[in-house]
Chain A
């Protein structure tokens, strides 16, 4: 298993740094573009959530850990923050069958994360929110 870690201030301005970090690691292992975009989208949704809510109105650190393992290869992205305990997976899924006029704007990000990843888990451990995303890179 190989892994890389980034510790960064959880604020929206740092989103590009987080996404570049993830893309660089995935580029290096020749991740298929489709999976790469899905992992990046999921990571964006999670990081933006942490930046918006975890420490509000203060700010704090987010740790992003990327691991590659197994055959076929699996990418695991773990987000850790020490902010307010919050399980994003408890949020009710939006009704994606509603017409435009009845659609709200909430809940879509975490819903996409769940749909695009093969596994998403939340744990509150030692005062930390730990959200783990897994994606299999089978062709």
Chain B
């Protein structure tokens, strides 16, 4: 189960994720981002309460990163230790801007 919260100010969008980003829930985030990124130049994905990520979740982050590379910047914040390890193993720690 994944909870997605969005906060938007002008061209800045913060997406806060809680729960699990897996094969079942990744399409929800994909759909949410697809309809939200128009005109956004600063995207922040807050992972404070994200407990789990699988390759399906990584794919959604990769496509968001590709979109944001064209129109602005993307940051990923509050990444927990176990999720950080997944990012490192897959080289996503180099692709994403983790702050």
Contact = CB atoms under 8 A, between A and B. Distances in A.
B65 A100 contact: yes
A16 to B, nearest CB: 6
Given A109-B55, A112-B89, A34 B95 contact: no
Contacts of A45: 54-55
Given A100-B65, A109-B54, A112-B90, A44 B82 contact: no
Interface in A33-49: 33-34, 37-38, 40-41, 44-45, 48
Contacts, number: 63
Describe A's contact surface by its main secondary structure: helix
B11 to A, nearest CB: 21
B91 A105 contact: no
A100 B59 CA distance: 11
Interface in A15-47: 15-16, 19, 33-34, 37-38, 40-41, 44-45
B69 to A, nearest CB: 6
B34 interface: no
Interface residues of A, number: 27
A103 B52 contact: no
Interface in A105-120: 105, 108-109, 111-112, 115-116
B55 A15 contact: no
Contacts of B24: 12, 15-16
Given A19-B22, A44-B54, A112-B89, 14 more contacts: A15-B23, A38-B85, A41-B53, A41-B86, A44-B22, A44-B23, A45-B54, A100-B66, A103-B95, A105-B59, A108-B58, A109-B54, A112-B86, A116-B89
